[in-house]
């Protein structure tokens, strides 16, 4: 483990002990409105929402596009920080949603997360401090075409989470527009921590997803920061009401290759090529559940989404 990661790890443990007792415990019913309904947002609805919220909270939010999908839809990205139009030396964090078009819970949860930050900044001390000390980026939908088509893959039929450069095995399929946009964006930034949001199970998955010796599924492929990754996944799992109680995954966390081996994934790419600590969050056993459960899914993930950001904030606090 590098000195940077040791410092990051110790800082995150310290900060979680200091503020874990009371931070971010408010519920949706605390009197602050989300500002939108619990329903799925198509591309037009997502665009309208992001434009509206970034205007309403322009003092902390800046909306831009990192590129376009294969069907020419914008890959909207929202920056959230206290000076959203100025480059500052602050820890950078990234959430990526909806990489698989038919895994929609993460997309909607991130919409509510953005609205919640907008509503609570300047009102809630902990949210305000987090935004002031951290540079947060959110790509709500990496695969807007797939969402519109209600398919896992992008419009060209490729799985975007098998399309990134890989340290063990180069993907055989041509790099897609969405993948090119995300890799270019990550290369331009210096992200400390991030997660991409999926559906189909309920677990926090950490590197490595691939293996050097091409072992089959069930082989634990240990990264240099295995202990740190277990700690980070534990933060999310333990702040989710049911993830940590998983019968399939002890503590609600798993090594990627031990679950199933894959190559060309975002988390291994981010970590191996850019030293960005990155995990995969599986948020729902149902990939595209009925709209009636979206409020419950948001409430289940709200605290965890905030607390997973704390190690990024704590590294800033420890170095200030």
Annotated catalytic residues are 282
Distance CA(34)–CA(131), nearest Å, equals 18
Q: Is residue 208 classed exposed, middle or buried when 0-12, 13-18 and 19+ CB atoms within 10 A define those classes?
A: buried
Which residues are bridge partners to 139 per DSSP? 77, 96
What are 94's two structure tokens?
């990234």
Distance CA 267, CA 265 (A): 6
Residue 193 structure tokens: 């921590």
Angle at 110 between CA 105 and CA 116, to 5 degrees: 130
CB 17 within 8 A of CB 311: no
**Token representation of residue 2:** 């590098």
Q: 91: helix, coil or strand?
A: coil
Q: How many other CB atoms are there within 10 angstroms of residue 122's CB atom?
A: 13
């Amino acid at each position: 483990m590098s000195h940077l990661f040791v410092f990051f790890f110790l800082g995150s443990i310290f900060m979680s002990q200091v503020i874990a007792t009371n931070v971010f415990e408010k519920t949706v019913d605390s009197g602050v409105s989300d500002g939108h309904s619990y329903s799925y947002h198509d591309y037009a609805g997502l665009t309208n929402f992001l434009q509206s919220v970034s205007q309403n909270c322009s003092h902390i939010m800046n909306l831009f596009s990192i590129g376009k999908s294969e069907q020419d839809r914008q890959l909207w990205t929202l920056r959230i920080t206290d000076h959203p139009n100025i480059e500052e030396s602050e820890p950078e964090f990234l959430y990526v949603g909806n990489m698989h078009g038919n895994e929609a819970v993460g997309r909607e949860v991130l919409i509510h997360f953005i609205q919640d930050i907008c509503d609570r900044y300047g009102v809630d001390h902990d949210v305000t401090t987090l935004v002031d000390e951290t540079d947060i980026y959110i790509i709500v939908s990496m695969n807007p075409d797939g969402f519109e088509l209600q398919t896992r893959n992008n419009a060209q039929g490729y799985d975007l989470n098998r399309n990134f450069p890989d340290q063990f095995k180069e993907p055989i399929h041509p790099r897609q527009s969405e993948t090119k946009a995300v890799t270019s964006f990550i290369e331009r930034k210096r992200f400390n921590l991030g997660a991409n949001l999926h559906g189909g199970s309920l677990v926090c998955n950490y590197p490595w997803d691939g293996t050097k010796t091409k072992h089959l599924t069930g082989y634990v492929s240990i990264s240099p920061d295995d202990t740190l990754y277990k700690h980070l996944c534990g933060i999310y799992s333990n702040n989710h009401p049911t993830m940590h109680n998983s019968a399939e995954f002890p503590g609600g966390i798993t090594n990627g290759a031990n679950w199933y081996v894959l190559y060309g994934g975002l988390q291994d790419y981010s970590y191996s090529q850019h030293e960005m600590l990155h995990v995969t969050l599986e948020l729902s056993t149902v990939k595209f559940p009925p709209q009636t459960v979206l409020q419950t899914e948001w409430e289940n993930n709200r605290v965890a989404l905030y607390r997973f950001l704390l190690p990024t904030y704590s590294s800033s606090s420890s170095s200030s």
